[in-house]
């Protein structure tokens, strides 16, 4: 995960662990996730939806190019 860098993915910067826990240092995302945005706005304008769809497709394409399959996509 630390080797992947993409503007539409939450990138991992660093990871470490102690005896009980694994800690992942990830990019700070101040805008929240898509679910948060959907809860805030009941309806998005078409241009925003196009941006979200393109962002998701580009990030999935990047993952597939790096031999990673994301199995937890939700509508």
Any alpha helices (H) in the chain, and if so which ranges? 34-40, 46-65
Q: Which of 18, 27, 33, 72 is catalytic?
A: 72
Nearest by Cα to 41 from 49, 29, 30, 53: 49
Q: What is the C-alpha separation between 59 and 4, in angstroms, rounded?
A: 11
**Residue 72 falls in the annotated catalytic set:** yes
Which residues are known to be catalytic? Answer: 72
């Amino acid at each position: 995960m630390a080797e992947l860098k993409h503007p539409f993915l939450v990138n991992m910067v660093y990871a470490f662990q102690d005896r009980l826990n694994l800690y992942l240092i990830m990019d700070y995302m101040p805008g929240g996730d898509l679910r948060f945005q959907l809860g805030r706005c009941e309806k998005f304008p078409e241009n925003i939806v196009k941006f979200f769809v393109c962002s998701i497709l580009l990030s999935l394409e990047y993952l597939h190019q790096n031999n990673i399959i994301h199995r937890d996509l939700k509508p």
